């Protein structure tokens, strides 16, 4: 079975401590429990209540209601709750979305909510559960040293391999702990790559909160460490290297590093990478208060120029950023959003290959803004909807332009034609939706709440899989 990396990490942690473990997909959990039994069933979740930024934004746009992530989580917990009537075990929920459950009373069948890193604390908690000891419902994991984090022992989905953990920038809205940044030794990374290669997974996905932090000290790029990391990975027989996150500031600081890793990984017009990059805001006021270190080693007043320079560098090396923005701070005014719009318009005027996603600010329970209220249509600045429309109109245009690149690996002309046609038709409808939201300042979304997407799930899945085919070689 090919499982998500976090589950493989938990498997490695518990196996190292002598526990017998199984990694099981939700659809097979009943059979395994009835056959093997268990003291603990651990569930890794990213978004159990549907309130992480992307889910919340889409839910808000379409009138609210339960997201699919929340629906699937609810169904899994209901299944486990029913199984507990016949089989004695405890339900432990962890993962990056576990914070959502801390103050939620709907899931009383969950015995333990585990927050944070698992290496030091989780084995002790499992031991206490097996011994029948009383434990608090909410457990916070202690921070392990790099030596205490074992490599995975079975293959991870998408060839995922963690190269850093934590981030020292300390943005208020981010749950990544700034005090505990660590880079993994190259030999450990190579051991995990080898595990994936042995199981036929030749792509490598570097898990990191910022690629250019690898091997760094005091937020300065370590060019040699990154070049060695990419070089050694490709020498092992990887067919390509991808990564989920990168920051704009170190890109501008070290363009030679971006050029080097692009050449080593073989990025070109038919093989691009599209990491998430924090664009966040165009407001210097908001930047200074909530994310001052994001612009380091430059000043907040240089943010716009730094973004433009970094985007040029990335585009020149076939890196097409997915820029995310955080909108809805308590003191954020329409003037602050106007400055964000100007920043986005600068990106558009340059004709960069980039996507821009303005997201509502979500007060994650493990961040410095945990006491802020959840965003609503009424709380968002009215200019948010203008920013949303401008950004999405550009996103749709860029995606249309890049269809030939994104489908470069698809051999069938018919499939290419179908993909192009469906994207064009779907995107035309999406553009209309965002225009309506702009003109009504979000109120049009309330009329979408009666739409039942389950009735057209086959169509949506077809679109998803056709688009996935087009991304196969990107």
446 versus 68: the higher-pLDDT residue is: 68
* Higher pLDDT, residue 338 or 437: 338
Quick one: average pLDDT of 379-400?
93
- In whole angstroms, give the CA distance from residue 71 to residue 436: 28
Report whether CATH 2.30.29 matches the domain 5-140.
no
Residue 468 has pLDDT above 80, yes or no: no
More reliable by pLDDT, 425 or 124: 124
Taking the domains of the chain in order of start, what are their residue ranges? 5-140, 155-406, 407-474
Q: Each residue of 148-187: pLDDT tens digit?
A: 999 999 999 999 999 999 999 999 999 887 678 999 999 9
Query: What is the second-level CATH architecture of the domain 155-406?
Result: Alpha-Beta Horseshoe (3.80)
- Give the whole-number percent of the chain exceeding pLDDT 70: 89
On the question of pLDDT at 441 being above 90, the answer is no
Least confident of 114-123, 309-318, 404-413: 404-413
pLDDT beyond 90 at 432: no
The pLDDT-based confidence of 48 (bands split at 50, 70, 90) is very high
Q: What is the mean pLDDT of the chain?
A: 90
- Does the pLDDT value for residue 471 go beyond 60? no
What is residue 447's predicted lDDT score, i.e. its pLDDT? 67
């Amino acid at each position: 079975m090919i499982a998500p990396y976090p589950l493989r990490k938990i498997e490695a942690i518990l196996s190292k401590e002598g526990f017998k473990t199984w990694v099981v997909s939700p659809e097979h959990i009943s059979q395994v429990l009835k056959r093997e039994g268990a003291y603990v069933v651990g569930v890794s979740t990213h978004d159990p209540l549907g309130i992480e930024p992307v889910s919340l934004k889409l839910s808000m746009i379409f009138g609210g209601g339960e997201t699919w992530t929340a629906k699937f989580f609810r169904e899994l917990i209901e299944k486990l709750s029913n199984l507990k009537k016949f089989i004695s075990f405890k339900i432990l929920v962890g993962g990056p979305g576990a914070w959502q459950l801390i103050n939620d009373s709907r899931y009383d069948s969950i015995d333990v909510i585990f927050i944070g890193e698992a290496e030091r604390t989780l084995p002790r908690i499992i031991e206490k559960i097996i011994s029948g000891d009383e434990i608090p419902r909410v457990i916070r994991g202690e921070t392990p040293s790099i030596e205490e984090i074992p490599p995975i022992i079975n293959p991870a989905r998408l060839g995922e391999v963690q190269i850093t953990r934590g981030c020292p920038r300390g943005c208020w809205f981010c749950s990544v702990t700034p005090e505990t940044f660590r880079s993994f030794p190259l030999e450990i990374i190579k051991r995990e790559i080898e595990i994936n290669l042995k199981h036929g997974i030749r792509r490598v996905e570097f898990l990191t909160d910022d690629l250019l932090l690898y091997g760094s000290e005091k937020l300065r790029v370590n060019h040699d460490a990154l070049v060695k990391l990419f070089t050694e990975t490709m020498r092992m027989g990887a067919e390509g290297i991808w990564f989920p996150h990168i920051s704009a500031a170190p890109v501008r600081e070290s363009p030679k590093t971006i050029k080097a890793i692009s050449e080593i990984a073989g990025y070109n017009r038919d093989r691009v990478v599209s990491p998430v990059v924090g664009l966040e805001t165009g407001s210097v006021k908001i930047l200074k208060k909530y994310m001052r270190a994001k612009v380091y080693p430059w000043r907040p007043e240089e943010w716009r120029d730094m973004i433009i320079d970094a985007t040029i560098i990335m585009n020149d090396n076939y890196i097409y950023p997915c820029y995310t923005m955080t909108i809805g701070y308590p003191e954020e005014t329409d003037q602050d959003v106007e400055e964000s719009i100007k920043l986005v318009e600068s990106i558009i005027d340059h004709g960069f290959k980039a996507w821009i996603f303005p997201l509502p600010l979500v007060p994650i329970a493990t961040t410095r803004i945990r006491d802020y209220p959840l965003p609503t249509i009424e709380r968002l600045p009215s200019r948010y909807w203008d920013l949303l429309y401008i950004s999405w109109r550009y996103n749709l245009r860029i995606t249309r332009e890049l269809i030939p690149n994104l489908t470069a690996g698809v051999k069938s002309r018919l499939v290419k034609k179908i993909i192009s046609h469906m994207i064009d038709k779907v995107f035309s409808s999406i553009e209309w939706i965002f225009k309506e939201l702009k003109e009504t300042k979000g109120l049009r979304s309330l009329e979408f709440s009666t739409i039942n997407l389950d009735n057209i799930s086959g169509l949506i899945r077809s679109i998803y899989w056709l688009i996935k085919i087009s991304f196969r070689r990107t």
